[in-house]
Structure 1
């Protein structure tokens, strides 16, 4: 569901879907975000995602967003707050996300949407928010009464909570903001998608590539090594374990049954190539790729989910079931027999 407002997201739906984009930009215009298409898109994304924090400047956003180039963030902040207040932006992003979801979920029973919203809202109530600035800021917002708005708000909070934890794991591993993107581009996504959408220059990108080569994560041909794969999987495990509390007691089958139809509807609205790394709707993204040294390298979709939260609340090994976003911040969730994202962050598939 989100991106550019991504968070205006309903989540990715907000950013990529044409009708949703128009709806959200109209909302942004009403909130005071003016200018040309690129200006509004950039300002809308950063304003929408940072609004729960208040009228912050570029520096804290560069820190908490982590993998956006500082120059890209500084193009939008703090200038955007002279055009629209955080309160106006929050109203606009929720209206845009809800409007997009209303169209996309038109064929899904209202009772099912409400149940899905309740499930995610309950998960939010179990979050430990210490050390999670974006997760905590979103969790502190009023819970909407409208089921679609509540669904989106809960999904956004869960995503930001997990993203905060992932940033912590990346920092602890000694990675800079650009390096995880270079890693994903080398492993399964394209540089032509990731680099411009995160604002890094060629010089910055190439320098990050050099650092990964020095670390032994990439070889001389900029291909992932077995060392790099193992190291990044440890980061993912740390992230997953830190985010597991929210899913304690969740019934995997019920969760998948409620969220899969919404996932299908949202994935169908997103472009094939996207900076969040979602696989094509209905595609078989589980194929393994050979790694140097005879190890097995898989696509993000195939390798991403080795664990899911079971009914007991413990981390239970399962076959690959989800796809991470480009920041590897999408929650690992129970396996389902579908192929599409929910709220722009996780994708169930065969």
Structure 2
């Protein structure tokens, strides 16, 4: 289900209308919009909670953005821009689908998101607490975002339990699927920090000396993925097999269209839908 709801959320990062909505409230530059929009449900927060909850960004990169962005736009303005841009993007991408299709998808996504257990999941909880939109596309995007952050909180917990720090996690990603190293450097970590993380992973037996993923590392990381899936399962158990299958069917054309916006090698790491 992640591969079906994540693209709906991701329009906020990649669609020009989303970028324009942030710029309209004074958040010029990609990273200002990113940090303000994603952190806004937390309120006018300092950098420390964002460093902790976003997990993979180097602290200096976060402190350059926060709390300075709140002098450009309030959290409430950032939230309005975030939702406005996402809805405009989805409207452009789903205009061929009937309103009944979008409304049913929004209903089922909201039902799943409403069943998410948010205790211990900061980003999932603050997004779940936001008011739902009035129209199907707004409701759909907000529910997908709650599910996305709920799953991400669980993934971070699994990474911490596996004793992986942020830069080790990104270094492992580069080794595992060939993601361009710019992904790591683009999150603020230096080449020296990258090399040190690679050495630590080699010492743990996750990487070979030349930086390739080992079988031991793949097995160990699969345990992280399994823990993430298990922690994210309750919304789908609550929705039930029939409801989940129906939502997957409804989201299929939406997710495929939204997925075309996600660049190859994106830090989201989202696999393409099969078929």
> Following TM superposition, by how much is the alpha carbon of 1:212 offset from its aligned partner in structure 2, in angstroms?
0.5
**2:9 aligned residue (6, 11, 14):** 11
Is the contact made by 2:13 and 2:19 (CA closer than 8 Å) also made in structure 1? no
Q: Could you tell which deviates more after superposition, 138-147 or 184-193?
A: 184-193
Aligned to 1:254: 246
Contact 1:10 1:100 in 2 (8 A): no
1:10, 1:80 → 2: CA distance?
25
Deviation string, structure 1 residues 71-129 (Cα, Å, up to 9, x no partner): 11111111001111100100000000000000011111111111111111000111111
Please report how far the alpha carbon of residue 52 of structure 1 lies from its aligned counterpart in structure 2 after TM superposition.
0.3
Aligned match of 2:82: 93
Q: CA RMSD in A?
A: 1.6
Question: Is 1:276 the counterpart of 2:236 in the alignment?
Answer: no
Pick one of 134, 138, 154 that aligns with 2:127: 138
Q: Distance in 1 between matches of 2:149 and 2:274?
A: 23
CA distance in 2, matches of 1:93, 1:11: 11
CA spacing shift, 1:26–1:223, aligned 2, 3 Å: closer
> Aligned to 1:61, which of 50, 59, 72?
50
Q: Is the 8 A contact 1:182 1:191 kept in 2?
A: no
Q: Distance in 1 between matches of 2:11 and 2:31?
A: 16
Distance of 1:270 and 1:165 partners within structure 2: 23
Deviations 1:276-318 (CA, angstroms, capped at 9, x unpaired): 223xxxxxxxxxxxxxxxxxxxxxxxxxxxxxxxxxxxxxxxx
Structure 1 Cα separation of the partners of residues 136 and 179 of structure 2? 36
**Cα distance, 1:10 vs structure 2:** 5.0
Secondary structure of the equivalent of 2:256? helix
Q: Is the 8 A contact 1:135 1:164 kept in 2?
A: yes
How much has 1:213 moved relative to structure 2?
0.5
- CA distance in 2: counterparts of 1:209 and 1:159, whole angstroms: 28
Please identify which structure carries the higher helix content. 2
Question: Which has the bigger relative contact order, CA under 8 A and spacing at least 6?
Answer: 2
In structure 1, the residue corresponding to 2:233 is in which secondary structure? helix
Q: Does 1:194 align with 2:183?
A: yes
- CA distance in 1: counterparts of 2:269 and 2:155, whole angstroms: 16
Residue 128 of structure 1 contacts residue 245 of structure 1 at CA under 8 Å; is this kept in 2? yes
Instruction: State which drifts further: 147-156 or 24-33.
Output: 24-33
Q: Is 1:236 paired with 2:225?
A: yes
State the shift of 1:151 in Å. Answer: 0.6
Q: Is the 8 A contact 1:143 1:153 kept in 2?
A: yes
Q: Deviations along 1:25-84, whole A, 9 cap, x unmatched?
A: 3322332324xxxxx211110010010000111111000011111111111111001111
Count of equivalent residues: 267
Task: Tell me which protein shows more strand as a share of its residues.
Answer: 1
2: CA distance between counterparts of 1:177 and 1:90?
27
Distance in 2 (alpha carbons) for counterparts of 1:24 and 1:243: 27
Shift in Å, 1:134: 0.2
Whether 1:206 aligns to 2:195 is yes
Q: Distance in 2 between matches of 1:170 and 1:271?
A: 25
Find the partner of 2:234 among 232, 240, 245: 245
TM-score when normalising by structure 2: 0.92
